[in-house]
Structure formats: structure tokens, C-alpha cells
């Protein structure tokens, strides 16, 4: 039970972070991305839309995972 809660909490936190990252990718050009972001490139005004889509979809997947984990125990996505 404790593991379930930790997993759910982790999924929600990671999902939220990923969606924030997605928004950053969509709004900021490559030159303005933080240096540790994949795709950061000094002087480039290119927007990494695809990186944002990837981060957004994985973020949504994390939320779906948390949604299933907190559902009724009779059915589990890992079954």
C-alpha cells in the first residue's frame, strides 16, 4: 500500500514536471532553454516543438498511470 502511494505521488510529480518542461519547449527558443535541456543551442531561435510534444505525452502517461493506480483495486493496469 505504501509503495502504491509512493509510486502514485512520483507519477504525479514527474508528470507535472514533464508538462512544465513541454510548455518551456513550446514557448522558449533553443537559445533561451536552460543549458541542461536537450536541444539547448546558443544563438538559435528555433523552437523545439517536437521535444515539447514528447515531454507532454509522457507527462500525460504519468497522470494516466496515477489515475489507474488510485482506482478500485479489482483491476490494475499492470495485471
What residues numbered 42-61 form the site for other proteins, per CB under 8 A? 50-51, 53-54, 57-58, 61
Among all chains, which residue has been given the C-alpha cell 510529480? 13
CA proximity to 13, closest of 57, 59, 51, 77: 59
Q: Between 16 and 70, whose beta carbon lies closer to other proteins? A: 70
C-alpha 48/C-alpha 33 separation (Å) is: 10
**Radius of gyration of the chain, Cα coordinates, nearest whole angstrom:** 16
**Member of 37, 38, 40, 46 binding other proteins (CB under 8 A):** 38
Which positions touch other proteins (CB under 8 A)? 38, 50-51, 53-54, 57-58, 61, 64, 67-68, 70-72, 74-79
Amino acid at each position: 500500500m505504501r509503495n502504491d502511494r509512493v509510486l502514485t505521488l512520483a507519477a504525479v510529480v514527474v508528470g507535472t514536471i514533464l508538462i512544465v518542461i513541454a510548455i518551456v519547449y513550446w514557448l522558449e527558443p533553443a537559445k533561451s532553454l536552460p543549458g541542461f535541456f536537450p536541444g539547448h543551442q546558443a544563438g538559435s531561435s528555433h523552437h523545439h516543438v517536437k521535444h515539447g510534444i514528447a515531454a507532454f505525452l509522457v507527462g500525460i502517461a504519468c497522470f494516466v498511470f496515477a489515475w489507474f493506480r488510485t482506482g478500485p483495486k479489482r483491476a490494475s493496469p499492470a495485471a
